[in-house]
Amino acid sequence: MKKIRRKRSRIISLALIITLVCDQNIANARESMRQNAVLKAAQTSEKTSTSHVMQDGSMTLEEQDEPATQPQTETLFLNEITSQRSENSKQYMMSDKSVTVVLYDEPIHYEDENGNLIEIDNSLIKT
């Protein structure tokens, strides 16, 4: 009886270890694919300079029309470019006339019946 229990616990332990290793490999592959997509988008862009910044779980891609030889000043978000929305990204026009793309891990927009991407409202309503 002890041998059967010991054998069963070893099999379960081995299955759990394999599951953890496979799950970590899948997570690494997803992150690698996401980074490759951002790099590919940056390479195909016609802009002169790009930089990648991680902010609070989101990845941003800043694109500038002019070389970065001008003195650095604080740039502000002017408005969102709604025509460039995707299911999991937003693009913003900055005060220095650059465009910032913010990518999210999960969908933040949904498509309505007219084909427009609408922001998902996940606020709670008291009933």
pLDDT in tens, 9-53: 999 999 999 888 888 878 777 777 777 777 776 666 544 444 444
What pLDDT is recorded for position 94?
A: 87
Asked if 4 and 65 sit in the same domain, the reply is no
Give the range of the structural domain holding residue 125, as residue numbers without chain letter. Answer: 47-127
Asked if 103 and 115 sit in the same domain, the reply is yes
**Strand-by-strand arrangement of the 99-103 sheet:** 49-55, 58-64, 99-103, 89-94, 77-80
Asked if 12 and 61 sit in the same domain, the reply is no
Cα(118)–Cα(112) distance, integer angstroms: 7
Least confident piece of the model among 5-19, 26-40, 86-100, 103-117: 26-40
Instruction: Indicate the DSSP class of residue 86.
Output: B
Asked if 26 and 83 sit in the same domain, the reply is no
**The pTM of the whole model exceeds 0.85:** no
Structural domain total, the chain: 2
Higher confidence at residue 126 or residue 52?
126
DSSP 3-state of 74 = coil
The residues near 90 (Cβ < 8 Å, ≥ 6 apart) are 80, 101, 102, 108
Cβ density class 9-27: b for 16+ within 10 Å, e for less: eeeeeeeeeeeeeeeeeee
What pLDDT is recorded for position 66?
A: 53
What pLDDT is recorded for position 67?
A: 52
What pLDDT is recorded for position 125?
A: 85
Cα(7)–Cα(81) distance, integer angstroms: 60
What pLDDT is recorded for position 41?
A: 67
Give the closest residue to 68 by CA, choosing from 100, 98, 102: 98
List pLDDT tens digits, range 42-74: 666 544 444 444 444 445 555 555 555 555 677
